[in-house]
Structure 1
């Protein structure tokens, strides 16, 4: 393979256009997952402005770019998917029919190991070394919102009826309900991040927005616009005040759900569910094929989903001491976390303990 490794700022406009074109046509070549906005050049460029070591391996055939491999690299050759821990889709963006040798790719990129936790489906050379595969629920809206809503009523009539009724009651109690699909007010984004930080603390989870680079990343993506890509802030208002909001990323065909949150004072109205239905309606009108709700078991995802994608986690490793050491450190942590998440007898007491810690932390 003819592979060149570049810093994000070194990509030419022609390279970025070729990358975007591969994503735009991915569904026609049988790889619809490659259209995910986390695999867009804009996400990698934003990561490059917020984190060190971001690189892109560009594969050429006949002088033309046929594949793009974004990654983060340490000085010792440890590689990670770009945005590992916050990115919900990872892999190599390529033209239809392109095949590659994973170890040859790593060697060309100067990597001893490459770690991923949301590998897109269909990346066979990487999947061969995956340690686990997990569902990522989606809401299909390619046939229009009314079709989605009709099927939701057929599958979950009580859930649909209750969610819509709660939104009507919200309007009666709090004032006119108004939805803005693409809110441009930075104050609304700050409100969302404040809600989300409080939610993380309340539930005993690590507050992502306590990491300045994640805050910078979200703010940059909020201001990022191109023909196929945008950061989208969606807000549900009641009586002129925000009650629920979501920030995610949009490509030509996919709206990737990322940071949803709501004002706990309005929890009894389930404003987050109403927000997702409004998002689906507006996204369908924009020509989006589906909303990717992201890996992770949540009751609201099970209620809203129409099907599931599969994402993988694991490592691709070369014969190298650095790779062996990295995997030895990381594998037990991942195995323990996945065991807890997949077993109710482990997850439920752990979740209760985290929430108790969150309540204590919130009071201090």
Structure 2
């Protein structure tokens, strides 16, 4: 096991061990995070097959990418069968007494990592952390609607009618040109959401537009941008990372209409999954999502 601070090698270009974890464990996302948010000593644990980018701070070692902005953490390279050996090597490489917190891990990753750490004498068990909300997509939009509970299906249709009655028929326009509108929608919001998109955070999101699969979408109506979504996509999955709407149109249900149109677009694009990512907001489950549990391994070497 090599535990070093060099991220320039090919280890960060390996594929994540777990499926459907988006850009978050990959080099592109982490390099943007590093440029804007990275603090402490950045490390890479690499046993030649599996690698995991880490950060050492005052509280110990964590996975690179703060958990509030990084929806999935996952080792890179190898396969699930290699994680026990990697966990054991990692446990042996840590200085005795070093505290660690490995968060946002899918269950299929957390269990063998914990087994490997235990083999190195580091007793730790996967603990529930948060959950992503994921929606399996059918082949067409009407089948999607038909699979919802009657009450939820009626509510989506009611809010779509409210939107069209107030503003007209919506459509999505995607591309980086909508970034300014996305930022202004955030800043026009009340409370913490309005305070979230400061200059530093806006710079972080702007640089994320250069990550493979990044997709900024505006919900347009009559030439006006009503809502915006910042997401990522790969061959099979759309990941909804962040969204906002113009509060002037709040009474027309722009948030639900935006997500509804994003789901329809994902189905039309042949996606098999729509990932709402972390968070237990009720609207996600009313729109058909189910939890994907994530786990944390926390302890001391």
TM-score, length-scaled by structure 1: 0.68
Question: Aligned-pair RMSD on alpha carbons?
Answer: 2.9
**Is residue 3–residue 43 contact of structure 2 (8 Å, CA) maintained in 1?**
no
Cα deviation, residue 246, structure 1: 1.0
Cα separation, partners in 2 of 1:104 and 1:198, compared to 1, 3 Å: farther
| Mapped partners of 1:280, 1:5: distance in 2 | 42
**Is residue 126–residue 316 contact of structure 1 (8 Å, CA) maintained in 2?**
no
1:199-256: CA deviation from partner (whole Å, max 9, x where unpaired): 3xx23469333371x333211111233xxxx211111011111110011222333322
Cα deviation, residue 293, structure 1: 1.3
What is the count of residue pairs matched by the alignment?
Answer: 285
| 3-state secondary structure, aligned to 1:224 | coil
2:272 is the alignment partner of 1:300? no
**Is residue 246–residue 257 contact of structure 1 (8 Å, CA) maintained in 2?**
yes
| Mapped partners of 1:55, 1:243: distance in 2 | 42
Stretches (4+) displaced over 4 A = none
| 3-state secondary structure, aligned to 2:155 | helix
1:297-336: CA deviation from partner (whole Å, max 9, x where unpaired): 3232121133210012452421xxxxxxxxxxxxxxxxxx
| 3-state secondary structure, aligned to 2:159 | helix
Cα separation, partners in 2 of 1:131 and 1:307, compared to 1, 3 Å: closer
Q: What's 2:65 paired with? A: 83
Q: What's 2:165 paired with? A: 169
Cα separation, partners in 2 of 1:59 and 1:254, compared to 1, 3 Å: farther
1:87-120: CA deviation from partner (whole Å, max 9, x where unpaired): 1111323414223264641553779233244222
**Is residue 170–residue 238 contact of structure 1 (8 Å, CA) maintained in 2?**
no
**Is residue 221–residue 231 contact of structure 1 (8 Å, CA) maintained in 2?**
yes
Q: What's 1:97 paired with? A: 81
- Name structure 1 gaps, 5 residues minimum: 61-65, 319-364
**Is residue 52–residue 63 contact of structure 2 (8 Å, CA) maintained in 1?**
no
* TM alignment of 1:50-199, pairs within 5 A: 50=36, 51-52=38-39, 53-60=41-48, 66-74=49-57, 78-84=60-66, 85-94=68-77, 95-100=79-84, 102=87, 104-106=89-91, 108=93, 112-122=98-108, 123-124=110-111, 125-126=113-114, 128-141=124-137, 143-152=139-148, 154=150, 156-172=152-168, 176-180=169-173, 182-185=174-177, 188-199=178-189
| Mapped partners of 2:142, 2:43: distance in 1 | 42
- Name structure 2 gaps, 5 residues minimum: 116-123
Q: What's 1:223 paired with? A: 210
| Mapped partners of 2:247, 2:193: distance in 1 | 17
| 3-state secondary structure, aligned to 2:65 | coil
| 3-state secondary structure, aligned to 1:98 | helix
| Mapped partners of 1:288, 1:3: distance in 2 | 38
More helix by percentage: 1
